[in-house]
């Protein structure tokens, strides 16, 4: 994306709390940003590396619960608990990944679907640890070191924005690097990637751990924002929501997760007055998008930009390909 | 260069490759021919490590690579193409090729995070290698186009370039000229000759007899997983066993 568009988006995000007509809108935007961080994580393993991970919501919940339990029950501060949540989701991601990534395609998706459900069951039933259906209360808000009060919505909004910017920045660097290209090669095909000397397990595992850590970060921020969490955080619906955000925004693109998440969160919000009937509008919108822009908002936009740039220089391209064709024909004759 | 000793692959009770021994010499074009289902692709999969052989040995420059996984085999210098190559359609040709040199680089997550000197150096090397491979297959002019926008013949060349970007010593080409017209086939033949001139050893599976007979230095014929003949194009052309396998031996073809 052009640096100008990037700066414009960042500037908009920075002034948004001043444009918002009430605090609730800032809160909705902050929560959209939290989900966007998680969707960026899903984009690593599913978008770039091509492995459909249906346990993503489970890892989000693990991040939320780790932070919640460490602050509410163990008395830790928010910041050390955040580190704890990242570590926990990374380690559990490693352990789940090393088993599940032995499976391919649908089998991997089904396996992780089960992992996600097991995480839900553990949170719901392991009452001694998680308080079961009662959930976790009195979760600590981020400590502001006496400078800011993160229990206020607007400072928390900026905190989440900072994490989101870091998450996107790292994703940008990753996707352009040799490592990101390695993930994409795996998405193109296991056998081809292996024949290019790529160690499948090591690279898939790295992508998986990165994605669960992103989910853990988002979950921990979520817990610090809502301060009360329950087993429903691990509901499989959250995973499917995130997949929808990713598909609408553009899977395997850098801006897709942000556009998809923020877009759908606001559409859902603005249709709130319709209650359950909002799906009557939302459903067909989704169907139209899948038909006319199967690569999502960002993906379709990028294709369109590329073809526009190509068609601006048609003379050059055609002339060149004519020369090549003539050359090849000539050489073919010589050969025959 | 590549020496195969008594290689066998059983799928259940069926021998897809049965007791095949052969040697591919450095700087030669070695062809493998045979009727459909003769075990040619399986033979390639065994050499490149995608399948593990049931018995037998594979030696690459004297090193036993029989039980190495395919990524390790690739590191040792075996490049290959497939009958179909899935590429990233919505990315440029050059972008698709850069990963080809990944196996010769070492940058990891930490290098990405701090944008290390090593990462920058290796990314430049990979990009240069991709460009070089693209020039080699005479596709320098489509570097900036999306894979989705290039022709079928150009895709095949891109697949060659991808294999070449791994810096192989030997390349295994699985039906490189399938589905391309006669002029293009001739230009593919020249390309393979060019690979050999550059010092590579080429090994290909092909059904187009005209091309093989003009191009190959040495031909091995597989039928029902077994090697039934080996030799120069001239020897193969006049071999009665080969003629029988191709022109219908009926009941005794399996013998």
Q: What is the pLDDT of residues A159-205, one digit of tens each?
A: 999 999 999 999 999 999 999 999 999 999 999 999 999 999 999 99
Q: Which two tokens stand for residue B240?
A: 């009665």
CA A84 to chain B, closest CA, distance in angstroms equals: 20
Query: Is B145 in CB contact (< 8 Å) with chain A?
Result: yes
| Residue from the list B108, B141, B146 with its beta carbon closest to the beta carbon of A306 | B146
In a 10 Å sphere around its CB, with 0-12 CB exposed, 13-18 middle and 19+ buried, how is residue A105 labelled? exposed
DSSP string, A180-217: HHHHHHHHH-HHHHHHTT--HHHHHHHHHHHHHHHHHH
CATH number assigned to the domain covering A9-294: 1.10.3470
Contact B79 A170 (CB under 8 A): no
* Average pLDDT over every residue of A66-90: 96
Contact A177 B162 (CB under 8 A): no
pLDDT computed for residue A322 by the predictor: 46
**What CATH number matches the domain at B1-77+169-255, 3.30.540.10, 3.30.413.10, 3.20.20.80, 3.40.50.300?**
3.40.50.300
Q: What sign does the CA torsion over B147, B148, B149, B153 have?
A: positive
Contact A332 B70 (CB under 8 A): no
Per the rule left: phi > 0, alpha: psi between -120 and 50, beta: everything else, A98 is alpha
A81: enclosing H helix or E strand = helix A78-100
- Spatial contact of B23 and B2, defined as CB atoms under 8 Å apart: yes
* Average pLDDT over every residue of A100-111: 95
CA distance A63 to A221: 9
- Spatial contact of B205 and B175, defined as CB atoms under 8 Å apart: yes
Q: Which two tokens stand for residue B94?
A: 């050059």
Which chain B residue is nearest to residue A191, measuring alpha carbons?
Answer: B50
Q: In this structure, what DSSP letter does residue A139 have?
A: P
CA distance B130 to B143: 9
Q: Which two tokens stand for residue A83?
A: 């580190």
- Spatial contact of A192 and B48, defined as CB atoms under 8 Å apart: no
| Residue from the list A177, A197, A332 with its beta carbon closest to the beta carbon of B166 | A197
Three-class secondary structure of residue B198 per DSSP: coil
User: How do the domains of chain B map onto residue ranges?
Assistant: 1-77+169-255, 87-167
- For residues A155-178, b (16+ Cβ closer than 10 Å) or e, as one string? bbbbbbbebbeebbebbebbbebb
CA B40 to chain A, closest CA, distance in angstroms equals: 17
User: How do the domains of chain A map onto residue ranges?
Assistant: 9-294, 300-336
List of long-range contacts for B195-200, beta carbons under 8 Å, 24+ apart: B195/B164, B195/B171, B196/B27, B196/B28, B196/B29, B198/B136, B199/B27, B200/B27, B200/B168, B200/B169, B200/B170, B200/B171
Interior CA angle at B203 toward B199 and B204, to 5°? 135
| Residue from the list B138, B145, B190 with its beta carbon closest to the beta carbon of A335 | B190
For chain A, what is the mean pLDDT?
89
Q: Which two tokens stand for residue B98?
A: 């850069």
Which chain B residue is nearest to residue A302, measuring alpha carbons?
Answer: B90
| Residue from the list B85, B102, B126 with its beta carbon closest to the beta carbon of A197 | B102
Q: Tell whether the model's pLDDT for residue A330 goes beyond 50.
A: no
- Spatial contact of B155 and B147, defined as CB atoms under 8 Å apart: yes
Tokens 């989910």 belong to which residue? A215
DSSP string, B232-245: -HHHHHT-HHHHHH
Instruction: Look at chain B and count its residues.
Output: 255
Contact B95 A181 (CB under 8 A): yes
Band (A271; pLDDT cuts 50, 70, 90) = confident
Q: At what angle do helices A56-72 and A105-125 cross, to 10 degrees?
A: 30
pLDDT computed for residue A1 by the predictor: 61
* Average pLDDT over every residue of A295-314: 82
Which residue, among A165, A153, A210, A152, has the nearest Cα to A36 in the 3D structure?
A165
Contact A210 B88 (CB under 8 A): no
List of long-range contacts for B25-28, beta carbons under 8 Å, 24+ apart: B25/B1, B25/B201, B25/B217, B25/B218, B26/B1, B26/B201, B27/B196, B27/B199, B27/B200, B27/B201, B28/B196, B28/B201, B28/B202, B28/B217, B28/B218
Return the minimum-mean-pLDDT range out of A82-91, A253-262, B177-186.
B177-186
Query: Is B87 in CB contact (< 8 Å) with chain A?
Result: yes
Q: Which two tokens stand for residue B58?
A: 């594979």
Band (A313; pLDDT cuts 50, 70, 90) = low
Residues of B in contact with A178 (CB under 8 A): 98-99, 102, 105, 107, 119, 122-123, 126
CA distance A180 to A171: 9
Q: Tell whether the model's pLDDT for residue A324 goes beyond 70.
A: no
Which chain A residue is nearest to residue B151, measuring alpha carbons?
Answer: A321
Residues of B in contact with A200 (CB under 8 A): 71
pLDDT computed for residue A319 by the predictor: 45
More confident residue, A307 or A97: A97
Contact B112 A177 (CB under 8 A): yes
CA A112 to chain B, closest CA, distance in angstroms equals: 24
Q: Could you state, in chain order, the average pLDDT of each consecutive group of 10 residues for chain B (255 residues)?
A: 93 92 93 91 94 95 94 95 90 94 93 92 95 95 92 93 95 91 91 94 91 92 92 91 75 45
DSSP string, A222-254: HHHHH--B-GGGG-HHHHHHHHHHHHHH-TT-S
CA distance A165 to A168: 5
Contact A195 B126 (CB under 8 A): no
Q: In this structure, what DSSP letter does residue A20 have?
A: -
- Spatial contact of A296 and A43, defined as CB atoms under 8 Å apart: no
| Residue from the list A178, A184, A192 with its beta carbon closest to the beta carbon of B126 | A178
Three-class secondary structure of residue B178 per DSSP: coil
Three-class secondary structure of residue A221 per DSSP: helix
Contact B82 A194 (CB under 8 A): no
Q: Which residues pair with B219 in a beta bridge?
A: B31, B231
Three-class secondary structure of residue B34 per DSSP: coil
Q: Tell whether the model's pLDDT for residue A323 goes beyond 50.
A: no
pLDDT computed for residue A333 by the predictor: 42
CB pairs under 8 A between A and B: 113
Q: In this structure, what DSSP letter does residue B206 have?
A: -
Tens-digit pLDDT profile for residues A221-243 = 999 999 999 999 999 999 999 99
| Residue from the list A178, A197, A329 with its beta carbon closest to the beta carbon of B123 | A178
DSSP string, A153-168: HHHHHHHHHHHHHHHH
Query: Is B126 in CB contact (< 8 Å) with chain A?
Result: yes
Q: At what angle do helices A153-176 and A178-188 cross, to 10 degrees?
A: 80
DSSP string, B126-177: HHHHHHHHHHHTT-GGGTTSBGGGS-HHHHHHHHHHHHHTT--SEEEEESTT
Give the residue numbers in A contacting B (CB under 8 Å), as ranges. 170, 173-174, 177-182, 184-185, 187-189, 191-192, 194-200, 206, 210, 295, 299, 302-303, 306, 310, 320-321, 324, 328-329, 331-332, 335-336
Return the minimum-mean-pLDDT range out of A2-16, A66-80, A150-164, A180-194.
A2-16
Three-class secondary structure of residue A173 per DSSP: helix
Which chain B residue is nearest to residue A316, measuring alpha carbons?
Answer: B141
């Amino acid at each position: 994306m052009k640096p100008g568009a990037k700066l414009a988006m960042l500037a908009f995000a920075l002034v948004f709390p001043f444009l918002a007509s009430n605090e609730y809108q800032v809160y909705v935007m902050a929560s959209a940003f939290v989900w966007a961080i998680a969707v960026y994580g899903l984009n690593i393993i599913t978008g770039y590396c091509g492995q459909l991970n249906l346990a993503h919501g489970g890892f989000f919940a693990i991040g939320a619960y780790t932070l919640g339990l460490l602050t509410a029950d163990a008395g830790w501060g928010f910041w050390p608990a955040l580190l704890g949540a990242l570590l926990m989701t990374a380690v559990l991601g490693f352990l789940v990944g090393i088993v599940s990534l032995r499976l391919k395609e649908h089998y991997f998706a089904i396996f992780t679907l089960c992992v996600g459900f097991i995480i839900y069951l553990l949170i719901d039933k392991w009452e001694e640890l998680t308080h079961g259906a009662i959930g976790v209360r009195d979760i600590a808000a981020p400590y502001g070191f006496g400078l800011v009060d993160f229990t206020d919505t607007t400072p928390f909004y900026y905190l989440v924005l900072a994490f989101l910017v870091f998450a996107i920045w790292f994703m940008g660097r990753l996707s352009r690097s040799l490592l990101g290209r390695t993930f994409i090669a795996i998405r193109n095909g296991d056998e081809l990637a292996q024949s290019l000397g790529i160690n499948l397990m090591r690279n898939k595992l790295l992508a998986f751990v990165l994605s669960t850590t992103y989910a853990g970060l988002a979950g921990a921020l979520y817990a610090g924002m809502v301060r009360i969490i329950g087993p429903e955080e691990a509901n499989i619906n959250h995973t499917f929501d995130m997949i929808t955000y990713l598909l609408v925004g553009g899977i395997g693109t850098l801006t897709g997760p942000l556009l998809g998440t923020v877009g759908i969160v606001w559409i859902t919000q603005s249709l709130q007055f319709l209650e359950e009937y909002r799906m009557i509008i939302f459903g067909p919108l989704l169907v139209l998008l899948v038909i006319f822009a199967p690569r999502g908002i960002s993906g379709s936009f990028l294709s369109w930009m590329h073809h526009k740039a190509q068609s601006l220089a048609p003379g050059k391209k055609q002339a060149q390909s004519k020369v090549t064709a003539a050359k090849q024909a000539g050489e073919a004759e010589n050969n025959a | 260069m590549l020496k195969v000793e008594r290689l066998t692959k059983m799928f259940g009770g069926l021998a897809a490759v049965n007791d095949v021994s052969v040697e591919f010499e450095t700087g030669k074009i070695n062809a493998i021919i045979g009727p459909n289902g003769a075990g040619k692709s399986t033979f390639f999969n065994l050499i490149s490590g995608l399948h593990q052989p049931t018995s037998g040995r594979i030696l690459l420059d004297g090193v036993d690579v029989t039980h190495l996984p395919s990524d390790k085999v690739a590191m040792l210098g075996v490049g290959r193409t497939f009958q179909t190559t899935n590429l990233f359609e919505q990315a440029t040709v050059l972008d698709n090729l850069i990963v080809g040199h990944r196996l010769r680089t070492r940058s990891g997550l930490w290098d990405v995070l701090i944008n290390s000197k090593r990462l920058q150096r290796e990314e430049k090397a990979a990009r240069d290698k991709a460009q070089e491979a693209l020039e080699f297959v005479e596709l320098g002019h489509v570097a900036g186009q999306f894979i989705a926008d290039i022709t079928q013949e150009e895709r095949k060349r891109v697949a060659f370039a991808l294999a070449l970007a791994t810096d192989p010593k030997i390349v295994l080409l699985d039906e490189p000229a399938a589905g391309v017209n006669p002029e293009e086939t001739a230009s593919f033949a020249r390309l393979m000759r060019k690979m050999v001139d550059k010092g590579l050893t080429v090994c290909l599976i092909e059904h187009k007899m005209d091309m093989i007979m003009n191009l190959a230095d040495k031909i091995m014929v597989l039928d029902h997983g077994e090697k039934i003949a080996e030799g120069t194009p001239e020897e193969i052309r006049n071999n009665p066993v080969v003629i029988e396998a191709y022109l219908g031996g009926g009941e005794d073809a399996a013998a």
